[in-house]
Amino acid sequence: MQTAMKPAAHSDGRVRALSSVFLRLIGGLMLFAATLGALQAIHSPTPESGLRGLRGLAAALVAWEIFLGLWLISGALPRAARRVAIGCFSVFACYTFYEALAGKADCGCFGQVHVNPWLTFILDVSIVLALTFLSKPGAGKAGNSRWAQQKWPVAAAAAIGLAAGVTVAMLHPRVVAAANGLASADNGGIVILEPHQWLHHRLPVLKHIVSQRRNRPMGRQLATGNWVIMFYHASCDECRRTIPVYEQLAQREMLAGKTPHVAFVRVPSGSGVSTRGLFHSNIALHGTLDATHDWFATTPIAVQLRSGRVVAEASGRAAMGVQWMEPRQP
Per-domain residue ranges of the chain: 2-172, 199-320
Beta strands in 205-256 (DSSP E): 209-211, 226-232
Band (pLDDT 50/70/90 cuts) for residue 66 is very high
Mean pLDDT of the chain: 81
Angle (deg, nearest 10), helices 117-133 and 2-43: 150
CA–CA gap between residue 239 and residue 33 (Å, rounded):
35
Band of pLDDT at residue 272, cut at 50, 70 and 90: low
CB contact at 8 A, 33 and 65: yes
Question: Given a cut of 50, is residue 202 above it in pLDDT?
Answer: yes
At the topology level of CATH, where does 199-320 sit?
Answer: Glutaredoxin (3.40.30)
Tens of pLDDT, residue by residue over 102-130, are 777 677 788 767 788 899 999 999 999 98
> Is the pTM above the cut of 0.75?
no
